[in-house]
Structure 1
Amino acid sequence: MSEDFYDVLGVSRDASEDEIKSAYREKASKYHPDVSDDPNAEEKFKQAKKAKEVLTDDEARQAYDQLGHDRFEEAEKRGGFGGGGAGGDPFGGFGGNGGPFGDMNDIFEQFFGGRQRQGNATRQGRDLQTRLTIELEDAYHGTEKQMTINRPERCSDCNGKGHPPDADAQTCSGCNGSGQQTRVQQTPLGRVQQTMACPECEGSGTIYSTSCSACHGDGQVMNEATLMVDIPAGISSGQTLRLEREGAPGENGGPNGDLLVEITVESHADFEREGDDLIYRLPISFPQAVFGDELEVPTVDGAATFDIPKGTQSGETFRLQGKGMPRLRRRGSGDLYVYVQVVTPESLNEEQRESLKAFAEAGGEEIDVSEGFFEKIKNSL
């Protein structure tokens, strides 16, 4: 029993294609026969390369996950799979609903349906994903943020070709230079023909005598890139910005993919956010609640004043229109809601105690101010 492809690369079974390629590059740099002293380096390098070929091909990976390692290799030996492409007898051993072959339509679509891959065709690179954390003020005003990421880039030593310019080139014997192989399989649905990228030359139609020492034939290297991200005013946590052509390099001269930046807006010490609205909790004194007052409250864009009316109760809410967050890519702003909380002092001097006692008696209440008056106020509000 040979080693599972996921174990060969040291990745999880739900690893992304970028994670698989990154793991392969690490293995290649460690076990490439030109640089490694390991006596089994050549075999380990071949295992890592094969694992990468299968797990970065969507169709082959689906077959590998469903068949398992041993049955996948058996099918490959029978000509069922080739170097990261899917073919062969895909129905043998498949379970699922609807009999021993499962859902025939689904299986047919999985292995033979859809657009066939052209080995040397130009293809756009994959989109990459990352995250960026910003402050509430950045989301309010909109800004430009600098970020640094590690990403795959086209190898500058070989211009993404995977081999030195002076490498000897030979026509691939596996595909006679076409970059493709065609296989015909007999299935319960009849004879099915599948065209796939040649596994021997990886679709190029040419075999080169040496691989690029910088990228070990992969055509890509991991580099650190510093980018500027335009943050639009009003953006919220969980929303994603797309940076065009900042993703992984394309294949065979194709354009780069995009970089998707998921935004997280940090919590703020003063404000809570609900959509485009902001919430501020304002403590006021008992006299301010009774007699009213003109108060100043913070906003993200400076202070604002508003009037507290006489007889304000603890828990009342006041709306300051247009003082919330800007609406993303729309006109106008949300509102600022001010929640008022009446604060009861923890201690009183003699003059305060007498004044409040007189207040209580004027209202027809006989109460011990020092022990229970403020507690009664809090409970009544």
Structure 2
Amino acid sequence: MSEDFYDVLGVSPDASADEIKKAYRKKATEYHPDVSDDPDAEEKFKKIQKAKQVLTDEDKRSAYDRMGHDRFEEAEKHGFDAGQAGGDPFGGMGGDPFGGGMGGGLGDIFEQVFGGGAGGRRRPRAGRDLRTDLEITLEEAFEGVEKQFSIERPTECDSCHGDGHPPSADATTCPECQGRGQVTQVQQTPLGRVQQTTTCRRCEGEGTLYSETCEDCRGEGYVRDEVTLSVDVPPGIRDGQTLRMEREGAPSPEGGPSGNLLIDVTIADHDAFERDGDDLHFDLPISFPQAVFGDSVSIPTIDGTVEFDVPSGTQSGETMRLGGKGMPRLRGRGRGDLFVTVQVVTPESLNDEQRDALEAFAEAGGDEIEIKDGFFDRIKRAF
């Protein structure tokens, strides 16, 4: 028994259309052949696409729920045509397995489910999606940026203009399909007499054979070429998010629309800031006197320098928040916050005056003073 489409997407049979689409996006991202390490990713991705195609179409989903998975798959596999099926392709189920409840009988149902009769040509497939990486700086992620990049992708062959053969090549009608581009086979199955229409393998659906193939593209009609594109990166984009450029992927081999280009964005590490969602974190080094007495210091933010008040008695490791000084929110108003963590720096060497002052400070605090190498380590631990 084949895997149920609801199980493929991980949703319940009463899931809403939005829940199905959300589940599809999650699964498709996980098992896309261009990014997944799963050895069966390609096969799983095909199942996910098929499940989404059926369950997001109201008519197909209704028929799928009524027929069940295996019967639906069998019907699609044999390309049922009500006019050729002998009236009861399900063998003694009364002609209409749905009891007339959907109004037009079996022929109308299969026309709704499969988008036309068995002899009708299907819609040309879109080209496959392509994927590339793009690295930007944190400042570019803050401001937003128009970024140029280059990729290699299939493009139409200039020599044959995508035909796959020279203009001078002799053309003959394909003897296999008689120029129709499709072949039809009639079979007797346990479900009745059915016909199946498939693309002609000999002419690959063109209906015509040619005496020569293009030397540049070897008959494919496409060659790999480097192209330069430009993409608008929105302010607030996060590391690991993906941008999509419509119709900038691979061209369709069947004359349909091109696929999409998926751009995985990476944000380079920053020297001063750590990012956490829309918030930024910054370590501020200050001296021991600044921590004791307080001070006003200039600190960098992602969009300029601001004055920051260090309160008296600040402890090393203490964190304070500057509201609205983080990254812009990608799909909302306002900005995140900047969190400033104070690090009190212990001096590694002192002159005589500084040493006397610290000794007096320690004596005033009641400490017994023994001037030795470990003294400043004790001061560091105290604060």
Q: Do the aligned partners of residues 376 and 112 (structure 1) sit closer, same or farther apart at CA in structure 2, a change above 3 Å counting?
A: farther
Q: Do the aligned partners of residues 257 and 335 (structure 1) sit closer, same or farther apart at CA in structure 2, a change above 3 Å counting?
A: same
Q: Do the aligned partners of residues 320 and 224 (structure 1) sit closer, same or farther apart at CA in structure 2, a change above 3 Å counting?
A: same
Does the CA-based 8 Å contact 1:233-1:329 persist in structure 2? no
Deviations 1:42-62 (A, max 9, x none): xxxxxxxxxxxxxxx989x99
- What is the alpha-carbon distance in structure 2 between the residues aligned to residue 171 and residue 352 of structure 1? 99
- What is the alpha-carbon distance in structure 2 between the residues aligned to residue 265 and residue 366 of structure 1? 53
Provide the residue aligned with 1:150 in structure 2.
152
User: Structure 1 unaligned runs (5+)?
Assistant: 1-13, 18-56, 63-102
Question: Which residue of the other structure, out of 150, 164, 167, is the alignment partner of 2:166?
Answer: 164
The residue matched to 2:362 in structure 1 has which SS? helix
> Per-residue deviation at 1:153?
1.0
Question: Which residue of the other structure, out of 177, 183, 193, is the alignment partner of 2:179?
Answer: 177
The residue matched to 1:290 in structure 2 has which SS? helix
> Per-residue deviation at 1:378?
2.5
> Per-residue deviation at 1:189?
5.8
Deviations 1:200-253 (A, max 9, x none): 000111111211222111111101101111111111111111111211112343
The residue matched to 1:371 in structure 2 has which SS? coil
The 5-angstrom pairing of residues 1-381 of structure 1 reads 108=74, 121-185=123-187, 193-381=195-383
Using the size of structure 1 for normalisation, the TM-score is 0.68
Aligned residues: 288
> Per-residue deviation at 1:165?
2.5
The residue matched to 1:296 in structure 2 has which SS? strand
- What is the alpha-carbon distance in structure 2 between the residues aligned to residue 173 and residue 228 of structure 1? 47
> Per-residue deviation at 1:156?
2.4
One-letter amino acid of the counterpart of residue 372, structure 1: G
- What is the alpha-carbon distance in structure 2 between the residues aligned to residue 374 and residue 109 of structure 1? 84
Deviations 1:3-30 (A, max 9, x none): xxxxxxxxxxx9959xxxxxxxxxxxxx
Which stretch of the first structure deviates more once superposed, 183-192 or 123-132? Answer: 183-192
Does the CA-based 8 Å contact 1:117-1:196 persist in structure 2? no
- What is the alpha-carbon distance in structure 1 between the residues aligned to residue 265 and residue 32 of structure 2? 23
> Per-residue deviation at 1:299?
1.4
One-letter amino acid of the counterpart of residue 179, structure 1: G
Between the two proteins, what is the percent identity of the paired residues?
57
Give runs of ≥4 in structure 1 deviating > 4 Å: 14-17, 103-121, 184-192
Which stretch of the first structure deviates more once superposed, 242-251 or 223-232? Answer: 242-251
Q: Do the aligned partners of residues 352 and 122 (structure 1) sit closer, same or farther apart at CA in structure 2, a change above 3 Å counting?
A: same
Deviations 1:289-337 (A, max 9, x none): 0000001111121211110000000011111111111111432111111
Provide the residue aligned with 2:26 in structure 1.
none
Q: Do the aligned partners of residues 355 and 16 (structure 1) sit closer, same or farther apart at CA in structure 2, a change above 3 Å counting?
A: closer
Q: Do the aligned partners of residues 311 and 195 (structure 1) sit closer, same or farther apart at CA in structure 2, a change above 3 Å counting?
A: same
Q: Do the aligned partners of residues 298 and 15 (structure 1) sit closer, same or farther apart at CA in structure 2, a change above 3 Å counting?
A: closer
Which stretch of the first structure deviates more once superposed, 337-346 or 367-376? Answer: 367-376
The residue matched to 1:379 in structure 2 has which SS? helix
Using the size of structure 2 for normalisation, the TM-score is 0.68
